[in-house]
Every structure is written in structure tokens, then in C-alpha cells.
Amino acid sequence: MTTTLSESESKALLSKFGVPFLPEALVTSPAEAVAFAASSSSPMALKLCGANIAHKSERGLVHLGVSGADSIRDSCQKLLEAARPEDNATGVLIAPMANGLREFIAGISVDPVFGATVVFGLGGVLAEAIADVTVRLAPIRRHDAFDMLASLRSQSLLGDFRGEPAVNLEALANLLCALSTASSEIDGLVSIDLNPVMIINGMPVALDALVEIEQPGTAA
């Protein structure tokens, strides 16, 4: 039997290995959300957080571009009230809005035969249409990470793109190596899903994360 960590738990775990995330807070009241937002001039993104919450967007559990104390307070309250008992909600994640034109996906998939693999590819609305993904067996070294990046067909997205600077390939390779390290050090790991990894001012930042772990004593 496996369990999926909440988004906040997943991010807290992966940040220890060097996976980059935006500054954010898990709040349990509208007042806490307003206090966090006061430290930034950017509009906020708010999401209900819990271990069993699926299809957040379809359920209206993601509020984007929220500005002003009153709107943030109202958004947080609505999200908390929308929680169902089965969601196991732990609060609301609040973070500054991220802006970038390029999205990728990255993660770990553990195969029962071959073991852990590092996955990286094109994300966003074109992901399914283009299916540009590269996979390597873990553990990987830095030259493997760079080889993964070089093997993508969508190389133009790694350079200067529509007024945005080129992707910092060193930082992107660091992210892939961080995932590789996590795959060998997280006991019972089943999968890691970073979707999307947005490029912000040339730097990769994971906006969402989910970690799935096999519970002790449930292996086949």
C-alpha cells in the first residue's frame, strides 16, 4: 500500500535535497494568509493542501492572481470551507504568482524490475501533443543530466525565448541530480512528480510537487 504526501510535505522533503521551490507558507486561517502576503507586492496563488486532494483545478481549489488583503482573506476562507473530510486538508498553501513562458516536467519513477529512473521533459499545454521526454536510470551524474537536456528535441526552449533569458543549464542539471539523490535516500519511494517546473528569469522552479511512498510492511 502506498501513501501520497501532501504538497507541502512533498516540498519540505524535496527541498532538503536541493529541489528549488518558491517561498510559500501553509496557513490555517485567513489572517495568516494576509500576513504572509504582506511581505510581497506580487499577486498571490492559493491552493487547498491535503494528502488526498485530487483534481484541485476541477474542484475550484486553486485561486490565482489574488491581490489585496480583503481578496486574500476571502479566497483563503472559501478554500478552507471547500475542504471535504476525505481530503485530509492541512491548510492553504499561499505563494507569490510565478511568471514564465516555459514549463517542463521532472520526476522519479521506480520500476519494480529496473529500479528508479529520472524523467525530464516538456510540460505545459504542449506536453501530450509533442511528448518530448527523456529518461535515465538512477543514479545519474552531472554529465548524465546534461546529456538528458541535450537529448530533448525542443532545444529552442532552452535558449533565449520570447524575451526571456536562456535557461541556466547548470541549475537544471542540479535539479535532476537532486532528484537522483532523493531516489536513493527516501525509503520506500514509489514516485516523485514535479509538474510544472517553470523557468523564471532563466532559473528552474518547481511549482508543484507530489511524493508517493510505499508504507512499511506492505511490499509485495
Q: Is residue 16 part of a domain?
A: no
CATH code for position 111: 3.30.470.20
Identify whether residues 78 and 109 lie together within a single domain. no
Mean pLDDT (10-residue bins), the chain, 220 residues: 93 98 97 96 96 83 97 98 94 96 96 94 75 94 97 94 96 98 97 96 96 75
Q: Is residue 9 part of a domain?
A: no
pLDDT (0 to 100) of residue 126: 63
Identify whether residues 46 and 115 lie together within a single domain. no
- What is the tally of structural domains in the chain? 2
Residue 39 to residue 163: CA distance in whole angstroms: 28
Residue with cell 478552507: 80
Non-local (6+) Cβ contacts of 140 within 8 A are 118, 148, 176, 177, 180
Does the global pTM surpass 0.75? yes
Q: Is residue 6 part of a domain?
A: no
Q: Is 82 helix (H, G, I), strand (E, B) or coil?
A: helix
Q: Which amino acid would we find at residue 103?
A: E
Domain boundary residue, one of 65, 96, 127: 96
Q: Nearest CA to 17 among 200, 186, 197, 198?
A: 186
pLDDT (0 to 100) of residue 112: 87
Identify whether residues 135 and 208 lie together within a single domain. yes
Range of the domain at 117: 103-214
**Grid cell for residue 144:** 548524465
**Grid cell for residue 216:** 512499511
